[in-house]
Amino acid sequence: MDLDCHRLESLLQADNPGDRESAAIVIGQLTQVLRELNHAYYNLDEPLTSDEMYDRLLRKLDILEAEWPELALRDSPTSVIGGEASTKFTPVAHRFPMLSLLDAFSYDEVTSFVERVHVQYPEATFIVEMKIDGLSVSLTYENGLFVRGVTRGDGVTYGEDVTENLKQIISIPLAISERPSELVIRGEVYMSYASFDALNQSLSLLGDKVFANPRNAAAGTLRQLDATVVRDRALSFFAFEIQHSSNSFSNDSSMLAWLSDVGIPVIPDVVLCHSSKEVIEAIESIERRREALPFQIDGAVVKVDELYPRELIGATSKFPRWAIAFKYPPEQKETVLLDIVPQVGRTGRITPLAYLAPINLAGTTVQRATLHNQGYIDQLDARIGDTVLVQKGGDIIPAVLKVNVDKRPADTERYTLPKTCPACGSETEYVGGGADLYCTGIDCPAQLVRHLTYFASREAMDIAGLGEKVAEALYQGGYVRSIADLYTLHEKRDILVEDGLIGRDKSVDQLLAELERSKSAPLERLVTGFGIPLVGRQTAQALVKAIPDLGRLAEVNEETLASIRDIGPVTARSISRWFSLPQTEHLLERLEKSGLNMTSDVTDVRMPLEGQTFVLTGTLSSMTRHEARAALEKLGARVVGSVSSRTSAVVVGENPGSKAVRAQEIGVKSLDEDAFAALLATYDKGES
């Protein structure tokens, strides 16, 4: 159709028809033109006209349809485009069950399937087709118009009505060229590799979670409540079966040919076979072509072509007996490990990424694979220069499975992850003795977005409007390099508004107001927001109750921290370590300067050492045993004469007795005089 400007203008200029017949013609023309414009815009990415012209055409159609509602076409662009699906999908009872297929993993199983069928029906022929890795749907056409699309659901009783979303898929025709009174077909909605890559790229730019594979992406997209999202993500469709038709057919291949004739795309390259040998050859041939396909397949379907014997052969409650699905193993290939590069994730976790000589696997070029952690590298003994076996399964990042030691070059070395963070240079460590290495830097750029998001979360400082997207935008825009930078954002208000990174005046001012408000948040929220490893909200509460002043909290030593109720030795070490980092000191200074609340009124009403039992041994230089006992008791502790496993700590002075040895034997904590003095000092100040 000719879509030049004159034609569009004349369509717009034409007076609204006064009679039903001319109205029907104009509505038909407008519908057709808009559909073509949509196709060019959304699917070919080649707009044929201005947005303004498009809107005017759509409005004109809208007005006419309002005047002649009975003339509106079912596939009208006024309802399809931007048409919002309901807030949830309606369950629809299946009129025809959508059974799945029995899987076969070996050629023996294929052979026995063919033999079984031939016993019952010796003349049976088979068709072999690709098994598209997507989402099965059932489509209903009435008098040639697409009226309903349903997901598999449980396959037998109910599926979900996703008609509005399916209407956004360009390869599902809204009208077909023949008009049987009723046609129900089954097919697969899938996402091509190209659409999948584009989608994941844009998701990751927005800081959203990416999809692991095209099938997940297709499923996630089809269940979107907003049909416009479905439109933008470019799903595709192949039919593979007629479930019900007012036309009659004698075999599958003629059904597929008919579908194709009326404009419904069917799975391409179907092969007709007569023996198990031919079936296996067809399966092998599909597997050979698998790499070059623009979409993901996970097997080959073998089914009896003739429809009559299908009835004869029948079905179990779950599977038809006249078809099987042959599953291909995940693709594996050897390639050279060019380099191992440690990556810092948002959580600070450092993962070794393998850079590979490019290979084609499962339809995509693979150049990187995960090596998980140091333990995995050691287990494989993977070295730079090695030839490795790579597999692409359902995961987005392929895995390195094995090293081919025979192909190892002469001068390789064992690989060890670095002791410093590749992003910020801070030390790395295995937190809590786990397998994963973490960066310890609080301002590590690789972790900053996560830190900011957590800092602002409801759990911590509760700053509305500072979610991951905004944090990412602020980071990308160069506005924020540290948590402390949040509190200088107001100085850049006008530039921020100008930039439009996080919206205009209103959004920026709201965020600034929230930040201002957060300055007076209770101290425990601030401490939570620091994201100190092992310190969540509860531990932060315990800390702040015991030591209600951030300045002092930053100075107490590990032993004192460990003496606080609800804080164990490992957490104490983590806290002490975090406060001793130079960047922490810098952060606290800046936050204080910005006027954040750094003290708490909510002290523990219980005494700080209540419930704890101490034992004294040896001589202390600064106080008598009696004074030491009094000081402890003043803080709520009990002082007893002998060490047991229930003892909280033993204070060890000069020339200690057997109690010190006993404490060590049974693993009770010992405090030397300095640590003891620090403990008392912490709480002494706390009382003032």
Q: Which residues bind Zn ion (CB under 5 A)?
A: 421, 423-424, 426, 439, 441, 444
597 near 526, Cβ under 8 Å?
Answer: yes
Please identify, using beta-carbon distances, which residue of 241 and 436 lies nearer to Zn ion: 436
Select 97 or 445, whichever has its Cβ closest to Zn ion: 445
Beta carbon nearer to Zn ion, 415 or 438 = 438
Handedness of CA 184, 190, 195, 198 (dihedral sign): positive
CB of 348 to Zn ion, least distance (A): 7
Partners of 158 in the β-ladder: 93
Neighbours of 353 (CB within 10 A): 15
Name which of 480 and 651 has its Cβ closer to Zn ion. 480
* Of 344 and 540, CB closest to Zn ion: 344
Q: Is 352 helix (H, G, I), strand (E, B) or coil?
A: strand
CA dist., res. 185 & res. 167, Å (int): 15
Tokens describing residue 123? 């003349």
Sheet with 638-640, side-by-side order of all strands: 638-640, 613-617, 649-652, 669-671
- Nearest approach, Cβ of residue 676 and Zn ion (Å): 36
Helix 582-593, helix 569-580: angle, nearest 10: 70
> CA-based angle 84:89:91, to the nearest 5?
150
Least separation in angstroms between residue 582's CB and Zn ion is 14
- Cβ contacts of 57 within 8 Å, gap of 6 or more: 8, 11, 12, 30, 33, 34, 37
Nearer to Zn ion, 379 or 580 (CB): 580
Question: In Å, how far are 87, 138, 259 from 247, measured between CA atoms?
Answer: 36, 18, 11
Q: What DSSP element (H or E) covers 682?
A: helix 673-687
> Where in the sequence numbering do the catalytic residues fall?
131
Spell out the SS3 assignment of 621-646.
Answer: CCCCHHHHHHHHHHCCCEEECCCCCC
Please say which residue, 390 or 444, places its beta carbon nearer to Zn ion. 444
- C-beta of residue 382 within 8 angstroms of C-beta of residue 341: no
Chain centroid to CA 440: 25
User: Least distance to Zn ion from the beta carbon of 563, Å?
Assistant: 31
> Least distance from C-beta 450 to Zn ion, angstroms?
12
Rounded-to-integer distance, Cα 233 and Cα 580, Å: 49
Min CB(536)–Zn ion separation in Å = 22
CA 293 to centroid of chain Cα atoms:
26
Q: Smallest distance, Å, CB 674 to Zn ion? A: 33
